Amino acid sequence: MSGIQAAPAAVTAGSGRAGAGRGDGIGGGNRGLGGRAARAKRNLTSPWASGIAIGIGLLWSVPTFGLLVTSFRGSVKEIQSTGWWQALSPSNWSGFSLDHYRTVLSGSGTANLADYFINSIVVTLPAVVIPIFLALLAAYAFAWIPFRGSNLLFVGIFALQVVPIQVAMVPLLTQYVNLGLNASFWVLWLSHAMFGLPLAIFLLHNFMKDIPSSLVEAARVDGAGHVTIFFRVVLPLMVPAIASFAIFQFLWVWNDLLVALAFGGNTPDLAPITARLSDMAGSLGAKWHLLSAGAFVSMIVPMVVFLALQRYFVRGLLAGSVKG
Amino acid sequence: MDALLLHPTTIGGKLLLMVIAIALFALVMAAVLGLAQLPKRQTRGAAAAVFLFPALALVCFGLIYPALVTIKNSFYDQTSTSFVGLKNFATILSSPEFLTTLRNTVAWVILVPLLATGIGLVYAVLVDHARVEKFAKTLIFLPMAISMVGASIIWKFVYDDRVGILSRAYRAVAGWLGAEDPTAPKWLMDAPWNTFFLMVVMIWIQAGFAMTVLSAAIKAIPDDIIEAGRLDGLTGVKLFRWVTVPMIRPSLVVVLTTVAMTALKAFDIVRTMQGGHFHASVVANDFYTQSFNNHDKGVGAALAVLLFVIVVPVIAYNVHQLRKAEDIR
């Protein structure tokens, strides 16, 4: 495995999943020496390639852009009878308004999304914090506390990553009912934490084991226990890795539909915005003014997080792939 | 108490419960770790146990035990009361509707990874070192941030009969070719093509993932290897075929399997766009319908087991790769 660097900031992109040796060194590898070569190469790339790339990129954005334009078109009648691109001609610009956003966010009508939006926030925060902390502890044990059976246990956790969560859902629901927790935020938090743990442990362990052992051993020699080492030495170095996984888990929880539907139902007291939107897509049929605004209300948060923290997301992607 | 800790209905109540939950979690963790610090001389086993226990307990409670129960349930009847042997599997495999579902799932698992990876690879090569690389990449990558539900609504609008851009474009082209009063196909209803139009959404999302991973792999190829290929007289497509592709083969395998697994498990797109009707359902969608709408625990469990069985070779392959990587180190 190449590309594992000691500097904590670059530890991140280190090891590819399962030694597949993928994409090592995106974090820092290409900067220094490669920089000049890259610049030389850049001059050689054809403008055609760039042109085609931008063309495909724009084509990729057309569907999203179309719905975005629709969400701002004031006249419901026009939305349902003319194409969204017709709204782009300057003579039609006066028709743009925020009315549909007001409708989906205000308390009136069938499409009130404000409650569901809050539910998404309430579900997501603990569902990100809890698995990260638990996985950090477990990853620390796998990386820095030698014990019998460590390897076997780790392989077991690793294997669980791709197991479809569908196999666990129905009996888990029965357990929740027996515990009296059914249809509460607690089961959503618990479920997301449990389903996220295997990937979290694997990913964070990948970063954790790249911390130079001299640092940990020096602390041991100074008489520090594992708890002290965990908080004082390891945790500060893990911040970039934590950011990477946090974005993963955030996107996964915020965008999830399966867990939300199975354990959260479709009530405004509990269901996150994805569950409500999926239902609206079925029941509202072609009411595109509501669906378009609703879709963008649900998409704005993950898009902002994603664009702001893209760098960390890519690191996580390269270090541990995605779960399902 | 119930309104405070279990079922809050106001925004303030929900946010308060969220804060309580996080505080409670911190408290429990502090207690557990405090416990670990008590003994003067920590033994390794004790320390490992404290660090691992919370995560392992949750994994056992939430994944392993329920999975075993599901496997058991797949051999029991609707209400999990009496043993029926392989009857659930026989029911599934002898129903023509289900065989269509299975055919669709196979199409998803094969076509989505191939197309998403192909597009991602071509794009990664195209933008490599391009002046606009970062911007162009973000355009393709952005759908990764969008939920499958959101993506489904975006594409349902593309496919809309009256105002969708695809239907309008189809009619425009057909009219231009001389068709009288052309009508566009019902993209999401006409089987078997509707499955393809549903898959397009997943490909649209996953191409960005493939592009990102493969782009990093391409950049990681040492310059001297490319140079050696050039000296041997390879250029353009040949250089790509005989140097680049073999060098990124491990990454290609990872991307293909990861996208295949995602395509296998996802039911969001099918459910949101057309509910799995018109012969376009997939196994993951049937699982949900049987388990949570029809409350047939037996058949639902059998479908979940089927999903699991499809994944087993991937698990075995991954574990093999992990072992290999450990041997190298």
Higher pLDDT, A200 or A48: A200
Contact A38, B129 (CB under 8 A): yes
CB contact under 8 Å between A257 and B272, yes or no, is yes
pLDDT digits (tens, 9 = 90+) for A57-66: 999 999 999 9
CB contact under 8 Å between A310 and B130, yes or no, is no
CB contact under 8 Å between B311 and A115, yes or no, is no
When scoring B32, B35, B52 by the number of chain A Cβ atoms within 10 A, the one with the most, hence best to mutate, is B52
Contact A294, A70 (CB under 8 A): no
Task: Give which of B3, B203, B31, B8 is closest to B120, Cα–Cα.
Answer: B203
CB contact under 8 Å between A164 and B11, yes or no, is no
Contact A46, B129 (CB under 8 A): no
Partners of B155 on chain A (C-beta within 8 Å) are 63
Q: Which residue has the tokens 């030698």?
A: A146
Q: Which of the four pLDDT bands, split at 50, 70 and 90, describes residue A3?
A: very low
CB contact under 8 Å between A164 and B251, yes or no, is no
Domain assignment of residue A13, yes or no? no
Contact A259, A273 (CB under 8 A): no
The pLDDT of residue B39: 65
Integer Cα distance of B154 and A101 in angstroms = 16
Contact B151, A57 (CB under 8 A): no
Helical (H) or strand (E) element with B265: helix B249-265
Integer Cα distance of A133 and B55 in angstroms = 9
Q: Which residues, given as ranges, of chain B have pLDDT below 70?
A: 1, 38-42, 328-329
**Shortest CA gap A170–chain B (Å):** 7
Q: What's A129's domain CATH number?
A: 1.10.3720.10
pLDDT digits (tens, 9 = 90+) for A84-95: 998 888 888 888
Contact B279, B193 (CB under 8 A): no
Using alpha carbons, list the distances in angstroms from residue A125 to A35, A114, A259, A294, A300. Answer: 39, 17, 16, 21, 16
**A57 with A135, same domain?**
no
**A173 with A228, same domain?**
yes
* Token code pair at residue B85: 């042997």
Amino acid present at A151: N
Q: For chain A, what is the radius of gyration of the CA atoms?
A: 24
Domain assignment of residue A40, yes or no? yes
Using alpha carbons, list the distances in angstroms from residue B283 to A268, B154, B287. Answer: 29, 24, 6
The answer, yes or no, to whether residue A35 has pLDDT greater than 70, is no
Instruction: Considering only the beta carbons, identify the residue of A62, A282, A295 that sits closest to B275.
Output: A282
Higher pLDDT, A264 or A127: A127
Q: Which residue has the tokens 């609504």?
A: B153
**A195 with A249, same domain?**
yes
The answer, yes or no, to whether residue A39 has pLDDT greater than 50, is no
Instruction: Considering only the beta carbons, identify the residue of A169, A190, A324 that sits closest to B262.
Output: A324
End position of a domain, from candidates A63, A97, A131: A97
Integer Cα distance of A113 and A291 in angstroms = 11
Integer Cα distance of A163 and B313 in angstroms = 11
The SS3 of residue A149 is: coil
**A314 with A169, same domain?**
yes
Least confident of A192-206, A251-265, B236-250: B236-250
Domain assignment of residue A20, yes or no? no
The SS3 of residue B318 is: helix
Task: Give which of A123, A258, A297, A164 is closest to B270, Cα–Cα.
Answer: A258
The pLDDT of residue B180: 81
Helix residue ranges per DSSP H, A14-75: 32-44, 47-72
The neighbour count for residue B327, using CB atoms within 10 Å, is 8
B313 in A contact zone (CB under 8 Å): no
Domain assignment of residue A11, yes or no? no
DSSP tag of B181: S
Helix residue ranges per DSSP H, B95-192: 96-127, 133-141, 148-158, 165-176
CB contact under 8 Å between B62 and A56, yes or no, is no
Instruction: Considering only the beta carbons, identify the residue of B61, B142, B213 that sits closest to A194.
Output: B61
What angle do helix axes A310-320 and B193-219 make, rounded to 10 degrees?
A: 90
Mean pLDDT, chain A, rounded, equals 82
DSSP tag of A88: G
Partners of B147 on chain A (C-beta within 8 Å) are 254-257, 274, 298-299, 302
The pLDDT of residue A112: 79
DSSP tag of A316: H
Q: Which residues of A172-190 are buried (b: 16+ CB within 10 A; e: fewer)?
A: bbbbbeeeeebbbbbbbbb
CB contact under 8 Å between A50 and B33, yes or no, is no
**A149 with A256, same domain?**
yes
CA torsion sign for A98, A252, A320, A61 is negative
The Cα angle at residue B240 between residues B236 and B241, in degrees rounded to 5: 115
Domain assignment of residue A67, yes or no? yes
Domain assignment of residue A167, yes or no? yes
The SS3 of residue A178 is: helix
**A135 with A229, same domain?**
yes
**Shortest CA gap B235–chain A (Å):** 13
Integer Cα distance of A119 and B304 in angstroms = 28
Higher pLDDT, A13 or A183: A183
Higher pLDDT, B183 or A292: A292
Integer Cα distance of B82 and B187 in angstroms = 44
* Token code pair at residue B118: 């192909």
* Token code pair at residue A251: 């996107």
**A164 with A44, same domain?**
no
**A233 with A315, same domain?**
yes
**A129 with A89, same domain?**
no
Domain assignment of residue A5, yes or no? no
Backbone angles phi and psi of A96, in degrees to 5? -75, 140
* Token code pair at residue A193: 């934490």
**A252 with A315, same domain?**
yes
The answer, yes or no, to whether residue A29 has pLDDT greater than 90, is no
Query: Which residue in chain B has the smallest CA separation from A47?
Result: B130
The pLDDT of residue B149: 96
B300 in A contact zone (CB under 8 Å): yes
CB contact under 8 Å between B324 and A19, yes or no, is yes
Structural domain boundaries, residue A49: 29-97
The pLDDT of residue B132: 82
Helix residue ranges per DSSP H, chain B: 11-37, 44-59, 65-73, 87-94, 96-127, 133-141, 148-158, 165-176, 193-219, 223-231, 236-239, 245-247, 249-265, 268-274, 283-288, 297-328
Backbone angles phi and psi of A112, in degrees to 5? -65, 110
Residues 232-291 of B with CB under 8 A from A: 248, 250-251, 253-254, 258, 261-262, 264-268, 271-273, 275, 284, 287-288, 291
Overall size of chain A counted in residues:
324
| Count: domains in chain A | 2
Q: Which of the four pLDDT bands, split at 50, 70 and 90, describes residue A31?
A: very low
pLDDT digits (tens, 9 = 90+) for B55-80: 999 999 999 999 999 999 999 999 88
pLDDT digits (tens, 9 = 90+) for A99-116: 999 988 886 655 579 989
Domain assignment of residue A223, yes or no? yes
B71 in A contact zone (CB under 8 Å): yes
**Strand positions, DSSP E, A136-223:** none
**A214 with A142, same domain?**
yes
CB contact under 8 Å between B273 and A281, yes or no, is yes
When scoring A167, A232, A269 by the number of chain B Cβ atoms within 10 A, the one with the most, hence best to mutate, is A167
CB contact under 8 Å between A19 and B322, yes or no, is yes
Using alpha carbons, list the distances in angstroms from residue B92 to B167, B195, B266. Answer: 36, 20, 20
**A88 with A120, same domain?**
no
CB contact under 8 Å between A281 and B213, yes or no, is no
Integer Cα distance of B150 and B272 in angstroms = 9
The answer, yes or no, to whether residue A292 has pLDDT greater than 90, is yes
Judging by beta carbons within 10 Å of its beta carbon (0-12, 13-18, 19+), is residue B237 exposed, middle or buried? exposed
Q: Which of the four pLDDT bands, split at 50, 70 and 90, describes residue A19?
A: very low
The answer, yes or no, to whether residue A43 has pLDDT greater than 60, is no
